[in-house]
A and B are shown apart, each in its own frame.
Chain A
Amino acid sequence: MHPVSLRQVGKTYRLGSVDVPALSDITLDIHQGAFTVLAGPSGSGKTTLLNLIGCIDTPDRGEITVAGQQVQSMPDDALSDFRARHIGFIFQNFNLIPVLSARENVEYPLVLAGVAAAERRRRVDALMDAVGLSDRQHNLPAQLSGGQRQRVAIARALATAPRLVLADEPTANLDSHTGAAIIALMRRLQREEDVSFVLSSHDPQVHAEADDIIFIRDGRITGIEAGRDTAGGRI
């Protein structure tokens, strides 16, 4: 079963009196356990597609199935609960909660998902260790570097062991060296956790790591490179 399936999905934004089509007739399957990259120029619709897959935006047309459930007509509270259980997010600007320590940021999705304290502790310990921040876990985000913040964000996205992690330009605010390290970390954890990653990026380093690349232009899929032979290979 595909973790994400889209069928003839369309989305149009209205700017003043003008309708601006953001996505048109998107039909797509994301493969289980794949590191999938949405590639395309700015304004091509990558972020809109990512938002629809992440259930934080709704399509005007078509059907979206995530983790086996049709999500386009779910009520808001049900969608919130669904996101808490099944989807992790990594943002370009890290979007950590500034008043929570690194550890608490990772723990917060587990609190939302209603996980017991002991299990939360075990899971957070493991993730902080996995992203190499055990020694900085009590630091506030403001006390961490950009790369460290994004590592916390990755750990947070994986906290609830979701079926799907979405990352919007995760390396855009990092230097190339740090960006490469973040990509390697995401790739490693994606394989270890057997989770599907969908990233929007035009960073060649990210493209180089992708199992599948979906090319988008003007809101339409213009090509798909599936089953690419990367260094790690597809599980």
Chain B
Amino acid sequence: MNTVSLALRNLLRNRRRSLTTLLAMVVGLVAILLFGGYRSNIIYGTQTGFVQQTGHLQIQRRGYFLDGGDNPTAYGIADYPRMLARIRQDPALAPMLVIATPTLQLGGIAGNFAAGVSRSVMATGLIPEDRNRMMQWNDLGVVSYARPLPLAGAAEDTVVVGTGVARKLQLCALLDAADCPPVAARSTPDGAALPDDIAALSSLEKAGPAPAAGHPIEMLAATARGAPNVASLNVIQASNMGIKALDDVYMAMHLAQAQRLIFGAGTPQVTAILVQLKHTAQIPAAREELGRLLAGHFPDADLEILDFDTLNPIYRQTNEFMDSMFGFIALLIGVIVLFTIGNTMSTAVVERTTEIGTLRAMGLRRAGIRRLFVCEALLLGLAGSALGVLGALLIAYAINHSGWSWTPPGYAYAYLILVRVGEDLPLLVGSVAGMLAVTLLSAWWPARRAARLVIVDALRHA
């Protein structure tokens, strides 16, 4: 017979009250875990998406991220092949590295002059094989929506565009019928407004070698010297990019094609080197090593290293938003549980006042009384936590297999509703620890009051 045994029997003495308290804890913990699991899924999913697209770190010319988005030629990195070789050979980086690959961002106007339409696009010049490898990164084990680019192994003039771009360019064969309303229903063709010189350039391009099979378009961009340049391209796929704003401007092309468009016969450059690591937690170490490497071998390059958190502000904003929601809900539930347990323990103290006096008279110290009530609350907390975790795991399993989906604001297609409870150990441990802390906190005051009862008064209690 010890404190734990006595505490357990006291809990079983009033089973209905203990059960009600337990139920409040279980419901509270299940709610916290399910919302936490939902939050984790969103945050981990968002992180995975950004790491697949932008890598963990990017090496850019200083100022490009803030000011150079529309001017790639002013912030180009010419020495990138040597940089890539150094990065891949670095003995400290190599174990952390999944891939390092160059990219060139450029803006331009894509036109389907046969249909008389055009639109502004943001194009990414990339090495398809490298990018497809980046798409496979899924260290957090989420449901990935990334699909490999079909550019790998395709001709250099092939491109992939967002469905919004394809719709605008009337590339209806690449789209579902519902996504491509008939031309008659649309506004006046943009092609009529094309400047003469661009139309002339286009006709020159058309006079060149026959393009590969696909859906031909033209891409107009400004070269490094400010002159217009046009490339004939073949759209081989329209991909839904998820976010509509991106879907309406997206274009992916071979890096060599993008470099020819911007730099012509000059030295090809890139706007960034993407570095993808095995684990997100390796960012600080990799960043430090990259900084050392660049400072040592490319001291005059004026480069900076940016992490995906900086490159994608929406990731941080999403994190903060979800964290604040989770914190608010956890706080509400914590307060409810706090008062529920506190009320239960206070009632127990009142009911057992004479018993407390008897135990004290027999020689149980104040600390012993305090320990007894705290132990009762702790047992409740442990049972509530165990049942809460079990309940949350079962409900999470049901949700994850239900096929429920929703379309987040600003997104172009629906995402499965998933909750990561079992896979998120920090969430599980943190929530259970929080629940136990709330339990102990709520029991502390009644236990202290019980311990401080005057023995003779307690014995007189009816």
Given known A56-B456, A83-B363, A108-B362, contact A95–B1 (CB-CB < 8 A): no
- Please state if A80 and B363 are interface contacts (CB–CB under 8 Å): yes
If over half of A's interface residues share one DSSP class (helix, strand or loop), that class is named, otherwise mixed; here it is: helix
CB neighbours (8 Å) of A56 from chain B are: 360-361, 455-456, 459
A57 to B455, CA, bound (A): 7
Q: Which residue of A lies closest to B6 (CB)?
A: A99
- Please state if A84 and B13 are interface contacts (CB–CB under 8 Å): no
In the complex, whether B10 has a CB less than 8 A from a CB of chain A is yes
In the complex, whether B358 has a CB less than 8 A from a CB of chain A is yes
CB neighbours (8 Å) of B354 from chain A are: 93, 95
- Please state if B456 and A89 are interface contacts (CB–CB under 8 Å): no
Give min CB distance, B355 to chain A, whole Å: 6
CB neighbours (8 Å) of A91 from chain B are: 358, 459
- Please state if A84 and B355 are interface contacts (CB–CB under 8 Å): no
A-B contact pairs, 19 of them (CB 8 A): A51-B456, A56-B361, A56-B459, A76-B365, A76-B366, A77-B365, A80-B366, A84-B364, A85-B363, A89-B358, A95-B355, A97-B355, A98-B355, A99-B6, A99-B12, A100-B6, A100-B9, A111-B1, A156-B362
Contact with B along A87-122 (1 / 0, CB 8 A): 001010101011110001001110111000000000
In the complex, whether A193 has a CB less than 8 A from a CB of chain B is no
If over half of B's interface residues share one DSSP class (helix, strand or loop), that class is named, otherwise mixed; here it is: helix
Give min CB distance, B23 to chain A, whole Å: 22
- Please state if A84 and B366 are interface contacts (CB–CB under 8 Å): no
In the complex, whether B359 has a CB less than 8 A from a CB of chain A is yes
CB neighbours (8 Å) of B360 from chain A are: 56, 80
Out of A76, A99, A109, name the residue touching B362 (CB < 8 Å).
A109
- Please state if B456 and A112 are interface contacts (CB–CB under 8 Å): no
In the complex, whether A129 has a CB less than 8 A from a CB of chain B is no
- Please state if B1 and A89 are interface contacts (CB–CB under 8 Å): no
Given contacts A77-B365, A82-B363, 13 further A-B contacts (CB under 8 A): A54-B361, A56-B360, A76-B365, A80-B363, A80-B364, A81-B363, A83-B362, A84-B363, A93-B354, A99-B6, A100-B1, A112-B364, A112-B368
A57 to B10, CA, bound (A): 27
- Please state if B361 and A83 are interface contacts (CB–CB under 8 Å): yes
Q: Which residue of B lies closest to A157 (CB)?
A: B362
CB neighbours (8 Å) of A81 from chain B are: 363, 365
A99 to B8, CA, bound (A): 10
A74 to B79, CA, bound (A): 84
Give min CB distance, A120 to chain B, whole Å: 9
Given known A97-B358, A99-B13, A100-B9, contact A80–B459 (CB-CB < 8 A): no
Closest 7 CB pairs of A and B: A84-B363, A99-B9, A56-B455, A95-B358, A83-B363, A80-B365, A112-B363
A85 to B362, CA, bound (A): 9
Q: How many A residues, CB 8 Å from partner? A: 28
Give min CB distance, B460 to chain A, whole Å: 9
CB neighbours (8 Å) of B9 from chain A are: 99-100
A187 to B357, CA, bound (A): 26
Out of A85, A89, A97, name the residue touching B361 (CB < 8 Å).
A89
- Please state if A99 and B358 are interface contacts (CB–CB under 8 Å): no
Give min CB distance, B1 to chain A, whole Å: 5
CB neighbours (8 Å) of B367 from chain A are: 77
Q: Which residue of B lies closest to A97 (CB)?
A: B355
A95 to B1, CA, bound (A): 18
A11 to B453, CA, bound (A): 19
A100 to B365, CA, bound (A): 19
- Please state if A104 and B1 are interface contacts (CB–CB under 8 Å): yes
Give min CB distance, A118 to chain B, whole Å: 15
Contact with A along B345-377 (1 / 0, CB 8 A): 000000000110111111111111000000000
Give min CB distance, A82 to chain B, whole Å: 8
CB neighbours (8 Å) of B368 from chain A are: 112
CB neighbours (8 Å) of B357 from chain A are: 95
A100 to B358, CA, bound (A): 14
Residue from the set A51, A56, A57, A111 with the largest chain B CB neighbour count within 10 Å: A56
- Please state if B1 and A107 are interface contacts (CB–CB under 8 Å): yes
CB neighbours (8 Å) of A77 from chain B are: 365-367
Given known A77-B365, A107-B1, contact A97–B13 (CB-CB < 8 A): no
Contact with A along B5-19 (1 / 0, CB 8 A): 010011011000000
Give min CB distance, A193 to chain B, whole Å: 17
Give min CB distance, A102 to chain B, whole Å: 13
Q: Which residue of A lies closest to B355 (CB)?
A: A97
Give min CB distance, B110 to chain A, whole Å: 80
CB neighbours (8 Å) of A76 from chain B are: 365-366
- Please state if A108 and B1 are interface contacts (CB–CB under 8 Å): yes
A57 to B362, CA, bound (A): 13
Give min CB distance, A90 to chain B, whole Å: 11
Give min CB distance, A226 to chain B, whole Å: 28
CB neighbours (8 Å) of A54 from chain B are: 361
A86 to B10, CA, bound (A): 28
In the complex, which residues 41-91 of chain A have their Cβ closer than 8 Å to any Cβ of chain B? Answer: 51, 54, 56-57, 76-77, 80-85, 89, 91
CB neighbours (8 Å) of A98 from chain B are: 13, 355
Contact with B along A154-175 (1 / 0, CB 8 A): 0010000000000000000000
Contact with A along B435-456 (1 / 0, CB 8 A): 0000000000000000000011
CB neighbours (8 Å) of B364 from chain A are: 80, 84, 112
- Please state if A99 and B1 are interface contacts (CB–CB under 8 Å): no
CB neighbours (8 Å) of A113 from chain B are: 363
- Please state if B459 and A109 are interface contacts (CB–CB under 8 Å): no
CB neighbours (8 Å) of A104 from chain B are: 1
Residue from the set B2, B12, B360, B361 with the largest chain A CB neighbour count within 10 Å: B361
Out of B2, B363, B365, name the residue touching A109 (CB < 8 Å).
B363
A91 to B360, CA, bound (A): 13
A104 to B13, CA, bound (A): 16
CB neighbours (8 Å) of A51 from chain B are: 456
